[in-house]
Amino acid sequence: MNYNEFRELCKSKNIMINDVCEYVSMTRPGLTKALDNQTIELRKLKLLCDYVRISPAQFFETGAFGSLQSNSEKGSKKPEDYEKEIEYLKNTLRDKEEIINLLREKDSGYRIASENIAKYELGKKK
Instruction: Answer positive or negative: Cα dihedral of 88, 89, 91, 95.
Output: positive
pTM over 0.75: no
Q: Give the range among 6-15, 20-29, 39-48, 109-118 with minimum mean pLDDT.
A: 109-118
Domain ranges within the chain, ordered by starting residue: 3-74, 77-126
Over 60: is that where the pLDDT of 73 sits? no
Mean pLDDT across the chain, nearest whole number?
A: 79
Residues 29-40 pLDDT 10s: 999 998 888 888
Cα three-residue angle 38-66-17, rounded to 5 degrees: 55
CATH no. of 3-74: 1.10.260
